[in-house]
A and B are shown apart, each in its own frame.
Chain A
Amino acid sequence: MAEDSGSEVTIFLESAAAALPAEISGELCAVDGRAISAEERVTIRGHGRLRYILHVSPGEATGTIHRRLRCELVAPGASAEIFVLLHGKKKQRLSLDLHLHHGAGGTHSASTVRAVADGGSHLKIISEISSAPKIGPCSAAVDSRNLLLAPTARLATAPVLSIHGNGIACTHGATIGGPRPDELFYLRSRGICEEAAKELLCAAFSSEILSKIPTRLPGQII
């Protein structure tokens, strides 16, 4: 079911019944392209490493998708790298609730979130970093950038930090905005129409996450 590439195991979650493992103690890369609502909880044990790439793009489908992921890093050496791309169109409602909890010193997490809201879509992103009291040094970072492509689209983000004790160094950055006028102008001045220019910029914006997806091999799909 999964392919071992070096010491890292890679899995592709594609069916609605698939799920992330509840516990991780080795190195796992999980690529999740399911456009469904799901709520998952993962415990990462000592020296366990999770690389999770989530891409939610419901295409032309309408409706609401709510994704919730809680990662608990419970022993020294545990780490998580989370990459998320949400792409909403039409009247779609997409939400992400991402929570990384540092339960022990010597743990590290880094989350990169990109969201694109087009048409009349509404996207909501909650990203939380929390830490248990009195733990040793550890680090956490969230980088959330969100692109508004249409005047009727809407994006909301709530980057929460909840830190107990002085063991954790934690940073968070979030932006919401449309395509930069100078970038649009550059493309348009080269004969590209506005719609195509926006698509190009959107593709470039998304590539930061999509480029993390490893090559799929037979037997990796769950």
Chain B
Amino acid sequence: MAPQDLDFSSAAGDFSYGTDYAYDAGSGLTEDTVRYISGHKEEPRWLLEFRLEALELFRRLEMPDWAPMKKSDLDYENIRCYLARGDGTGNRWEDVPAEVKETFDRLGVPEQEKKFLAGVEAQFDSEMAYANLKDDLQRQGVIFVSSSEGLLRYESLFRPYFGTVVAAAENPFSALNGAVFSGGSFIYVPPGVKIDRPLQAYFRINAERSGQFERTLIVVGENARVTYLEGCTAPKFETATLHAAVVEVVVLAGAEVQYITVQNWSANVYNLVTKRALAHQNATVRWIDCNVGSRLTMKYPSVILAGEGASGSVLSISVAKDGQLQDTGARMVHRASKTHSRVVAKSLSIGGGSAIYRGTISMAGGFERCRSHSRCDGLLLREDSISRTFPHMDCGGTGNVIEHEASVSKISDEQLFYLRQRGIGESQALGLLVNGFFDELIREFPMEYGVELKRLIEMEMEKVTTAGEVSRG
């Protein structure tokens, strides 16, 4: 795939088309809102009860003391929790309504599907507009549908895992998601099936004053393998938009999952996401998390290493520009012997941007020979840029090892001078140095995404030098 087919720049998603919504739960968050969503989806009674209980939890729960925002910072009375055109989910692009298709055409989704994906879902506001999976995978028993469809058509596979990895009571936004969730993916990979090409979901917020609350559940059978990509954009509005997703991944013995997120929301989006995987014996989970957009992101992908020999890793890149706060990190909970985890997080703070790393590594007593290594590096470009790291490590047991290293630095004058005296312009030199800083991580990304991320960083450096935003001590 040619690199130019992907575009992560902030302008890429900043457009919208007027859309008529046949189903609108209205502004605000009440029991009626929840009943409207559940009724429209014709959900079973147990799920309505789950939603109502989650709504109660949302009302009671507060954000933790360390959070960079309060629950009351958002005006929930002014957010529309459910918007759907009512066209259903098409499995051919020709069946997708014209303006929805045009949106995804502009974002390059159909092109990506043709070239390197095994399946695609495209969510437009609250519901999936398009979902398709290659025939050969369908024949092998792979399921890749919206979570609503997963619940209705595959309840025996869906229900035993739903809500078991992320509890609604965990934080206010997991509760909110539990109350009003709609959309998201349900993936089931049967035992032994190894999917070589990625499955991709694309999330698009189109309407102003709206919230997107997708819920993704991935169940990977024993010795199976899957890679899941998710991307997201929204047009930039004056009012705040809320994205509060929940992702649960269940990885059974010997299975492998790679979950890649490229978050490029516009600068008015509050991106408050809870993501967690449960890894059974000898299972492998890898989160690749790239955050370049949003006003505020709070996201800490985590892995519960519940089976002996399980391993988990989080590779995280975040870029915080003026007015942005990227509060990201990772959690690794070792709950069995011989489990391994690895966290590598790199952040770039440009202008007045603020990047925070929060990490938790937990190895309770009673387990043996667990290992964890985490590393976080921050790069600051200006004297009012901010970088913070809050790692927490807790270790008991015998033969367990936790290692952590962190650094915060600026662009070295010597490196910049070296490049400039060889005739390289300032923005190009900065781009080279920043890409060098991220290179170790970008090399672990799928090639198409790595190339485009590098290009995005070069573009940002051009803007920085044009605005004179680099200060040197």
Contact = CB atoms under 8 A, between A and B. Distances in A.
B402 interface: yes
A119 interface: no
B473 A159 contact: no
Nearest to B372: A176
Nearest to B386: A164
A165 B393 contact: no
Interface stretch (A3-11, A14-22, A66-74, A166-174): A166-174
Given A151-B396, A151-B397, A174-B403, A167 B389 contact: no
Contacts of A154: 365, 394-396
Contacts of A170: 407-409
Interface in A151-208: 151-178, 181
Interface residues of A, number: 36
B395 A165 contact: no
B395 A158 contact: no
Contact of A148 (B380, B395, B473): B395
Contacts of A176: 393, 395, 400-402
B384 to A, nearest CB: 6
Contacts of B384: 133-134, 164-165
Contacts of A158: 390-393
A173 B354 CA distance: 22
B405 interface: yes
Interface string A120-157: 00000000000001101100000000101001111111
Contacts of B388: 160-163
B378 interface: yes
Nearest to A134: B383
B389 A165 contact: no
B383 A133 contact: yes
B447 interface: no
A105 interface: yes
Contacts of B471: 166
B404 A165 contact: no
Q: Give the dominant DSSP class at A's interface.
A: strand
Interface string A41-81: 00000000000000000000000000000000000000000
A160 B472 CA distance: 24
B32 to A, nearest CB: 44
B396 A161 contact: no
Contacts of B399: 178, 181
A131 to B, nearest CB: 9
B387 to A, nearest CB: 5
A82 B391 CA distance: 21
Interface in B335-391: 365-366, 378, 380-391
Contacts of A162: 388
B410 interface: yes
A181 B369 CA distance: 11
A95 B405 CA distance: 21
A152 B472 CA distance: 49
B398 interface: yes
B406 interface: yes
Contact of A159 (B385, B391, B472): B391
A134 to B, nearest CB: 5
Contacts of A134: 383-384
B404 to A, nearest CB: 5
Nearest to A145: B403
B387 A177 contact: no
A137 B473 contact: yes
B393 A156 contact: yes
Return the 8 tightest CB-CB contacts between A and B, nearest first.
A166-B410, A177-B401, A166-B380, A176-B395, A165-B383, A156-B394, A172-B406, A154-B396
Interface of A: 105, 133-134, 136-137, 146, 148, 151-178, 181
17 contacts: A105-B473, A154-B396, A155-B396, A156-B395, A158-B393, A159-B389, A163-B386, A163-B388, A165-B383, A165-B384, A166-B385, A170-B408, A170-B409, A172-B407, A175-B403, A176-B402, A177-B400
